[in-house]
């Protein structure tokens, strides 16, 4: 409950800070949703190993876009932004057919490292 409240407050102040151009643009998916589909569900791995279809690559970009817009239950927000933006950039490269994308994804999608810092 305490985390939830902190999250709501942070989300509200973020929305205020971001102002007009992001007005109404909330994350489409929650972090657990992204985890279930992209991480636990294996979509990220599929893209990282070059086995994903174009649609699946697009889906990963969408899921990681949400990830960057969410606030983690714990940890430094700047570190989170950096980590999730790197994941998003790698997914975008993969979707664009750049071989550097999948390669980077494999390294960046480090479950334990991110959970240690950000999973409440
Ligand atoms: C960029 C950081 C990051 C990476 C990388 C990451 N996770 Fe997570 N994961 C999180 C955060 C943050 C939470 C906690 C979400 C919450 O409680 O709101 C979480 C939660 C989860 C959950 C629980 C979801 C739930 O229903 O509460 C699972 C399962 C999970 N991650 C699996 C994985 C797996 C498997 C990988 C690696 C393939 C992975 N994650 C990589 C950040 C990450």
pLDDT over 80 (residue 13): no
CA of 31 to the centre of ligand 1 (A): 7
pLDDT-above-70 percentage for the chain: 79
Minimum CA distance residue for ligand 1 atom 14 = 119
CA of 35 to the centre of ligand 1 (A): 5
Distance, in Å, from the CA atom of 62 to the CA atom of 30, rounded to the nearest integer, reads 12
The encoded tokens of residue 34 equal: 């992204």
Q: Quick one: which atom of ligand 1 is closest to the CA of 30?
A: 18
- 26 band by pLDDT with thresholds 50, 70 and 90: confident
pLDDT over 90 (residue 11): no
50 lines ligand 1 (CB under 6 A): no
pLDDT over 50 (residue 23): no
Do 56 and 46 form a contact (C-beta atoms < 8 A)? yes
Query: Which pLDDT score, from 0 to 100, does residue 65 have?
Result: 98
Q: Identify the residue with better confidence: 37 or 22.
A: 37
Q: How far is CA 110 from CA 26, 53, 71, 103, 114, in A?
A: 25, 22, 18, 13, 6
Q: Which are the contacts of 61, defined by CB distance < 8 A and separation ≥ 6? A: 88, 91, 92, 95
Summarize pLDDT for 69-117 with one digit per residue, the tens: 999 999 999 999 999 999 999 999 999 999 999 999 999 999 999 999 9
Distance, in Å, from the CA atom of 118 to the CA atom of 108, rounded to the nearest integer, reads 14
**pTM, full prediction:** 0.84
CA of 19 to the centre of ligand 1 (A): 28
Q: Quick one: which atom of ligand 1 is closest to the CA of 110?
A: 5
CA of 18 to the centre of ligand 1 (A): 25
Do 111 and 39 form a contact (C-beta atoms < 8 A)? yes
């Amino acid at each position: 409950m305490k985390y939830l409240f902190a999250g709501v407050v942070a989300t509200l102040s973020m929305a205020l800070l971001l102002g007009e151009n992001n007005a109404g643009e909330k994350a489409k998916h929650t972090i657990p949703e992204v985890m279930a589909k992209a991480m636990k569900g294996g979509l990220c791995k599929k893209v990282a190993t070059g086995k994903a279809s174009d649609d699946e690559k697009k889906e990963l970009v969408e899921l990681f876009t949400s990830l960057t817009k969410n606030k983690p239950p714990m940890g430094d927000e700047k570190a989170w932004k950096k980590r999730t933006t790197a994941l998003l950039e790698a997914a975008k490269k993969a979707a664009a057919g750049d071989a550097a994308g999948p390669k980077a994804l494999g390294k960046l999608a480090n479950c334990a490292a991110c959970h240690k810092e950000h999973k409440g």
